Chains A and B, each alone.
Chain A
């Protein structure tokens, strides 16, 4: 199997699906000739031409609104929003229209598209190139939300997302676009939506995490192991609908849980995960569930490595939970 980074794996998935299905189109700002500001769509313009790899005017609302129309027609658009921080001009189209189309039309008009967007911090991008807005798309009915942590999953989840009947927000953790490398299956390769991955098996503390923070959690888990704490690390992969079974099975075994995410703490996905654990595994808990997250502040520039829930913040939470 070839070695790829995340950018190459996502590019490979797009190319594969565009060859397989001529209804698939890519559109967005700078996705055409230049191949995207992160080069994720590089080479697609040359292979598929300007009617399937489309440089659009600079308007996120226009990109998503027209992509919805294309989807209603029967195309399978995969629009790119250049940074997830810039998705909000399209929020009305995503939340009030895309997410509701099948429901509000009594099933007549399922509107299916996959919105790809780089997310997360740690690239010295400041507030407007660093946020993690996933929870804001989970709280509205009708969207699936995905966030891969490695190249093989990125390819497999993207292909599964494109073939899924529902609209998908596909968050790509930009901090590990090139840093995360690994073997990626050639040709067709899907990873089912809604299935988490147990990346590290353990007995004492469950860590639930996704995207770039997976590597911080693994680092913290390795450090905790040196102190005799054996962590189980769950990479959520699909954030919504999440794999509750894998989480609850693990928590029933460990009785202790730490949830890690980059997004602000309050009303983040971590809060929902903890609430579900309380509902479904309360009597198995040996310690209060803990969240290690971004703070409820705007995303800072200079202090970004203090804002992010890096391993130096995860480790104390693991130890405290284990020793409660």
Chain B
């Protein structure tokens, strides 16, 4: 691929382009120029979180195929982008998610059990069974609420960051979105407002190559997504999104810039969606299997593993042990979630308003008088 026809689409090679920040070399060593200086315990914790995300993705797809959960939307291949950026945020910073960042929610402390409860929509689900799987929330961890419309979280993240600035409180906001969302109204609005008001926002574009079936070259004629920042007065940077260290480096720089009052940054993380859009999608219909090989070679987990093997002597046995531990943890969470009651019928009417107005009281009472009210939840 020489990139002349579809410059953005060439990004396996772009990962080697001079403007792309890259730290982790193929041999598992780090480029000292941009090394974020992670401690080895930090790297191992992140490796573990990445492996856990991968295992969750694989198991949850199986669970969906068995008909035990309705849906899953995963992050296979994008673990370094998601966990590296979440890791780089400070405790006082907030995260506004798209719908593909469960690993960031777990990183921010959402218990695995609550995430799995969300997959089952049971009464312990953080969103009380009101949304599809993978539409969770975790305010305790300063992690926002997932919705499905594309890009809506972008302007909200900017408003949130802007409010922190107005209140003179030190908090930056990391907002996730995909390459497809850069075509949305909200991307334009968010970038524009953030630029004008210098809202301390980190725009994190996971350029994973696809918006369901539509490739990046159908989203933009721009050479890169990062360069869209130029029009808004927002600095843009590209990084190898499958390189944990590069993601940490560029995100930390963006947070530091926001904290200094210099405003927003857009990061384009070059990564790849190794699976379909979600369990409702079959990528074979639009994406030739053959093209995936170059991306599989850039899979962020084996790349990081080479580093930890080199620096800590990590072994295959330790991988097996880790996988067994994570598998047991997940199996236990699934067993609990499957046995947990469904939300009570009346919960359908709660939280629409602060207090239940008369018309919802009437509708609730009608449902509770109905034939299916008895024995519900079992």
Contact = CB atoms under 8 A, between A and B. Distances in A.
A67 B192 CA distance: 14
Interface in A57-78: 57, 59, 61-62, 64-75, 77
Interface stretch (B78-86, B162-170, B367-375): B162-170
A97 B163 CA distance: 18
Interface string B181-199: 0000110111011001000
Contact of B158 (A65, A96, A144): A65
B126 interface: yes
Interface string A83-114: 00000010011001100111111111110000
Interface stretch (B13-21, B129-137, B276-284): B129-137
A44 interface: no
A71 B155 CA distance: 12
Contact of B137 (A56, A57, A108): A108
B279 to A, nearest CB: 21
A141 B130 CA distance: 13
Nearest to A69: B159
B32 interface: no
Given A62-B193, A96-B149, A106-B130, A67 B357 contact: no
B156 A97 contact: yes
Nearest to B353: A166
How big is the B interface, by class? Answer: 35 or more
A62 B163 contact: no
A72 B144 contact: yes
Contact of B162 (A69, A101, A109): A69
A104 B135 contact: yes
B155 A104 contact: no
Most chain A CB within 10 A, of B144, B145, B352, B354, is at: B145
Contacts of A105: 126-127, 137, 139, 145
A75 B130 CA distance: 26
A61 B193 CA distance: 11
Interface string B176-215: 0000000001101110110010000000000000000000
B172 interface: no
Contacts of B131: 104
A241 B193 contact: no
A110 B163 CA distance: 16
B354 to A, nearest CB: 3
Given A101-B145, A104-B130, A104-B145, A69 B155 contact: yes
Contacts of B196: 57
A101 B353 CA distance: 10
B359 interface: yes
B128 interface: yes
A142 interface: yes
Contacts of A188: none
B190 A62 contact: yes
A73 B127 CA distance: 19
Interface of B: 125-128, 130-131, 135, 137-139, 144-145, 147, 149, 152, 154-164, 166-167, 185-186, 188-190, 192-193, 196, 350-355, 357-359
Interface of A: 25, 51-52, 56-57, 59, 61-62, 64-75, 77, 89, 92-93, 96-97, 100-110, 141-142, 144, 164-166, 194, 241, 244
The 6 closest A-B pairs by CB, nearest first: A69-B159, A65-B155, A66-B159, A165-B354, A62-B189, A73-B163
